[in-house]
Amino acid sequence: MNSLVLIMVTIGVFAMGYRFYAKFLTLGVFRIDNSAPTPASHRHDSHDFVRCNRWLLLSQHTAAVTGSTTLVGTGVAIIWGWVPAFLWIVVGTVLVAGTYAIGTLWASLRYSGVGPQSLAQELVGTTATIPFFGLAGILLIVVCAVLTLLIGEVLVANPSVGWLFLSLMPITIFLRQSLFAATAEHLLLNLGLVLAISLAAFILGQYLPLAITGAWRIQGWNQDVLVLGPGLIWSVIVLITGYLSIKDPVWSTARPRGVLAGILLLIVILLIFIGISIYQPDITAPRINGQVNLPNPTVLIPMVLTGGAFAGYHAFVHAGPTVRQIEHQQDAPLLGYGGVVGDGLLAITAVIVLTTGFADTDSWHRSYVSWPQHEPIVRWLNEFIDRGAQFISMLGIPRQWASTLTAFMVVALTLSALETALRSFGFLLTDGRERLGLQPSTNKTLQYRVLILVVAIMAFGVSQTRLDLDYWYLISITGQWFAPALFVLLVIALSRLGRSTMMVLVPPMVLSPVVAWGTLWVMWQWWKDGLWLLLITASVILLLGLWGLTVTTMTAFQIHRQQASAMPLRPPGL
**pLDDT one digit per residue (tens) for the chain, 574 residues:** 788 888 999 999 999 999 999 999 998 889 888 888 899 988 888 888 999 999 999 999 999 998 888 888 888 888 878 888 888 888 888 888 888 899 999 999 998 888 888 888 888 888 888 898 999 999 999 999 999 999 999 999 999 999 999 999 999 999 999 888 778 888 889 899 999 999 999 999 999 998 887 766 666 666 665 667 888 889 999 999 999 999 899 999 999 999 999 999 999 999 999 998 888 888 888 887 765 555 554 445 444 444 455 677 888 899 889 999 999 998 999 999 999 999 999 999 999 999 888 877 888 877 776 555 567 888 889 999 999 999 999 898 999 999 999 999 999 999 999 999 999 998 888 877 776 666 666 667 788 888 999 999 999 888 888 888 888 888 888 888 888 888 999 999 998 888 888 888 888 888 788 788 888 888 888 898 888 999 999 999 999 999 999 999 998 888 878 777 766 655 554 4
Of the candidates 390, 342, 357, 418, the residue with the CA atom closest to the CA atom of residue 58: 342
Q: What is the structure's pLDDT at 298?
A: 46
* Neighbouring residues of 444: CB distance < 8 A, sequence distance ≥ 6: 247
SS3 content of the chain, % helix, strand, coil (to 5): 75, 5, 25
* Chain center to CA of 186: 34
Give the span between the Cα atoms of 365 and 309, in whole angstroms: 27
Give the span between the Cα atoms of 377 and 474, in whole angstroms: 13
Of the candidates 381, 529, 463, 473, the residue with the CA atom closest to the CA atom of residue 139: 473
Cα angle value 345/351/356 (rounded, 5°): 130
* Neighbouring residues of 521: CB distance < 8 A, sequence distance ≥ 6: 295, 296, 298, 299, 303
Give the span between the Cα atoms of 206 and 195, in whole angstroms: 17
Residue 569 DSSP one-character state: P
Is the separation of the CB atoms in 312 and 391 below 8 Å?
no
Q: What is the structure's pLDDT at 305?
A: 43
Give the span between the Cα atoms of 254 and 545, in whole angstroms: 31
Is the separation of the CB atoms in 339 and 57 below 8 Å?
no
From residue 32, alpha-carbon distances to 100, 103, 104 in Å are: 15, 10, 12
Q: For 123, how many CA atoms within 13 A lie in the half-sphere containing its CB?
A: 34
Radius of gyration in angstroms for the set of CA atoms belonging to the chain, rounded to a whole number: 23
* Chain center to CA of 261: 13
Of the candidates 107, 104, 77, 103, the residue with the CA atom closest to the CA atom of residue 89: 77
* Neighbouring residues of 366: CB distance < 8 A, sequence distance ≥ 6: none
Q: What is the structure's pLDDT at 306?
A: 47
| Structural domains of the chain ordered from first start | 3-561 (1.20.1740.10)
Task: Name 468's bridge partners.
Answer: 376
Give the span between the Cα atoms of 155 and 234, in whole angstroms: 7
Helices 68-77 and 378-393 pack at an angle, to 10 degrees, of 90
* Neighbouring residues of 515: CB distance < 8 A, sequence distance ≥ 6: 301, 302, 477, 480, 481, 484, 545
Q: What is the structure's pLDDT at 263?
A: 94
Is the separation of the CB atoms in 61 and 319 below 8 Å?
no
Phi-psi region of 402 (alpha: psi -120 to 50; beta: other; left: phi over 0): alpha
Give the span between the Cα atoms of 327 and 492, in whole angstroms: 26
Cα angle value 66/235/176 (rounded, 5°): 60
Q: What is the structure's pLDDT at 303?
A: 47
Q: What is the structure's pLDDT at 360?
A: 79
**Which residue type, as a one-letter code, is found at position 411?**
V
* Neighbouring residues of 77: CB distance < 8 A, sequence distance ≥ 6: 84, 85, 88, 300, 304, 305
Q: What is the structure's pLDDT at 183?
A: 82
**Which residue type, as a one-letter code, is found at position 447?**
Q
Burial grade of 47 (CB within 10 A; 0-12, 13-18, 19 or more): middle
Of the candidates 307, 309, 301, the residue with the CA atom closest to the CA atom of residue 517: 301
Q: Is the alpha carbon torsion for 22, 23, 26, 28 positive or negative? A: negative
Burial grade of 571 (CB within 10 A; 0-12, 13-18, 19 or more): exposed
State the pairing for strand pair 223-228/216-220: antiparallel
